[in-house]
Structure 1
Amino acid sequence: MTADAATPVDPVADIDASPPGPQIGAFFDLDGTLVDGFTATAHAGDRIRRRQARIGEITGVIEAAMRYRMGRVNFAKLLERAAGYLRDESLTDLEEIGERLFRERVRSRLFPVMHDIVLAHQRRGHTVVMSSSALTIHAEPVARYLEIDHVLCNHFEVGDDRRLTGRIARPVIWGRRKAAAVQEFCAGNDVDLGRSYFYADGNEDIALMTLVGRPRPVNPRRELAAAAAEQGWPVLRVSGSGRGGSSGLRGVLK
């Protein structure tokens, strides 16, 4: 479905009018799509407040993030660097921290309209999936809260004692690899990608947007916005996470 640029469309009403059934997938990115901002920043900030992060860790992550934005380090290396600082940490402890930080910091940053969209897909009996490049400790608490049963995301590599090795499990879910992971999920779960939805904001998600039948860029970044304009994809503009206390809650397809 393509929306007339001059006529905003209610995204929930659009889903309510769609065919029902689990053969239709609804795939959701996390950071910048379901949540305003990046979930990992809550964990980094918590480590700094609790004085668990050494100065080398703080400056190293900042440097790696800047190099990534400038295209001088790939996403896998960025994740590996962050995982290296957590080497020998207990995954069980990190999962508990992730749950606490979701309650304290992340839940208020959920876009209410995106929650409504998740609920609309669930009412239609669609197969709802979180497909994110985030790590499990950041993605899974959000998925549980939204009652999303399927999560495709990145995992820490752990030993038999469930302590982190300092590496990320391969392959890293990002860009074309995220698209491949979604294709594999669809093949294994009888989901028709050509009839499915994908909600995301990032330039790296263009690869998957071109594969789904119902691409839904959400507050897209520059390259994704340009691709949406070129391809005629309807763009979803959302605002009003609880973080800013905004009263202008909205979500429209244009």
Structure 2
Amino acid sequence: MTAAPPHLVDLLTAIEASPPGPGIGAFFDLDGTLVDGFTATAHAGDRIRRRQARIGEVTGVIEAAMRYRFGRVNFAKLLERAAGYLRGESLADLDDVGERLFRERVRSRLFPAMHEVVLAHQRRGHTVVMCSSALTIHAEPVARFLEIGHVLCNHFEVDEAGRVTGRIVRPVIWGARKADAVQAFCGGRAIDLADSYFYADGNEDIALMTLVGYPRPVNPRRELAAMAAVQNWPVLRVTTPGKGSHDGLRGVLK
């Protein structure tokens, strides 16, 4: 059995020396933080392989993703465009697909070191929360596997028959709205953000990073990395099996 790298040991030791109890929150982003890449790509790929996606859907999602990347469409529009292709489908069936794809495609992309970080917070009795802009069908299977009991994420709007309408429940959780959702969650549970942790990789997560006492960028993208350098936030670099030594953290608390 491979020994844990020293930096991972240091990080876990720091968490286990922190005050215990549910008044401390440990908030985890999903895509790029707990999982290598985007969980939604597993669903898109599955629809293509099963020939459930028409060519217009494939090109439309690619176009929307590129427009989003270059700042020409907001995240809510991107999410609703993807939801529109699933209009009329049963949410229960989509939940089953999400669980299957987790087993087949996503579980192997979990960062082992981040699983250890989740477990460390759970051992301290902290309130562990997944807060993600992903949809329930992509976020909840990961949360169940990691035994994370609280999930703040986006939801499909459904009709009285439980079928997807093609719209997303508002407000869409992303950027500042994610920070709002976390603040509302904490307010109802007496969780002090000044004593809490947030692990995330995205530039859009800066809003929430600035609210917690222990911001922990994970493989941060450019703007978040720049903010981390200015604010002297510890940066975590994580890998999946086969992509780096120890399958764990490299340069933790860099």
Q: Which residue of 2 aligns with 1:100?
A: 100
Alignment of 1:1-254 (within 5 A): 10-239=10-239, 241-242=240-241, 244=242, 246-251=244-249, 252-254=252-254
SS in 2 for 1:253: coil
Q: Which residue of 2 aligns with 1:3?
A: none
> Which ranges of structure 1 fall in alignment gaps of 5 or more residues?
1-6
TM-score, length-scaled by structure 2: 0.95
Q: 1:127-185 CA deviation, whole Å, 9 max, x = no partner?
A: 00000000000000000000000000000000010000000000000000000000000
SS in 1 for 2:153: strand
Q: After superposing the two structures, state which structure 1 stretch, 230-239 or 106-115, moved more.
A: 230-239
Counting aligned pairs with the same residue, the percent is 80
Q: Which residue of 2 aligns with 1:4?
A: none
Q: Distance in 2 between matches of 1:204 and 1:151?
A: 18
The RMSD of aligned alpha carbons is 1.2
Q: Distance in 2 between matches of 1:250 and 1:151?
A: 24
SS in 1 for 2:44: helix
Q: Distance in 1 between matches of 2:62 and 2:203?
A: 21
Report the alpha carbon displacement of residue 66 of structure 1 after superposing the two structures with TM: 0.1
Q: Distance in 2 between matches of 1:229 and 1:157?
A: 39
Aligned AA for 1:145? F
Q: Distance in 2 between matches of 1:219 and 1:18?
A: 23
> Which ranges of structure 2 fall in alignment gaps of 5 or more residues?
1-5
Report the alpha carbon displacement of residue 250 of structure 1 after superposing the two structures with TM: 2.6
User: Does the 8 Å CA contact 2:111/2:248 hold for their aligned counterparts?
Assistant: no
Report the alpha carbon displacement of residue 248 of structure 1 after superposing the two structures with TM: 3.4
Q: Distance in 2 between matches of 1:22 and 1:141?
A: 23
SS in 2 for 1:189: coil
Runs of 4+ more than 3 Å apart: 244-248
